[in-house]
Structure 1
Amino acid sequence: MSAPRFGRIGEGPAAPPGGEAFSELLAGGGARVVRIASRGHADAEGAWYDQAEDEFVLLLAGAARLEFAEGTARALAPGDWAVIPARCRHRVAWTDPGRETLWLAVHLPPH
Structure 2
Amino acid sequence: MSAPRFGRITAGPAAPAGGEALSELLAGGGARVVRIASRGQVDPEGAWYDQAEDEFVLLLRGAARLGFADGTERSLAPGDWAVIPAHCRHRVAWTDPAGETLWFAVHLPPA
Query: TM-score if structure 2 supplies the norm length?
Result: 0.99
Q: 1:4 Cα shift?
A: 0.4
Equivalent runs, 1:66-77 vs 2, <5 Å: 66-77=66-77
Separation of aligned partners in 1, 2:72 and 2:93: 11
> What does 1:6-21 align with in structure 2 at a 5 Å threshold?
6-21=6-21
Deviation track 1:6-57 (CA, whole Å, cap 9, x = no partner) reads: 0000000000000000000000000000000000000001000000000000
Mapped to 1, the partners of 2:4 and 2:93 lie a distance apart of 36
Q: Secondary structure at the match of 2:88?
A: coil
List aligned pairs for 1:1-111, cutoff 5 A.
1-111=1-111
Deviating 4+ runs (over 6 angstroms) = none
Q: Between Structure 1 and Structure 2, how many residues are aligned?
A: 111
TM-score by length of 1: 0.99
| Offset, 1:71 | 1.3
What one-letter code is carried by the residue in structure 2 that aligns with 1:99?
G
Quote how far apart the aligned CAs of 1:66 are: 0.1
Instruction: Supply the distance in 1 between the matched residues of 2:98 and 2:64 (Cα, whole angstroms).
Output: 12
Question: What is the alpha-carbon root mean square deviation over aligned residues?
Answer: 0.3
Identity %: 85
Query: Unaligned 5+ residue runs, structure 1?
Result: none
The amino acid across from 2:41 in the alignment is H
Shift of residue 79, structure 1, vs aligned partner:
0.1
Distance 2:8 2:74 in 1: 27
Task: Give the whole-Å Cα distance in 1 for the aligned partners of 2:87 and 2:70.
Answer: 12
Query: Take 1:28 and 1:109, find their aligned partners in 2: how far apart are those partners?
Result: 9
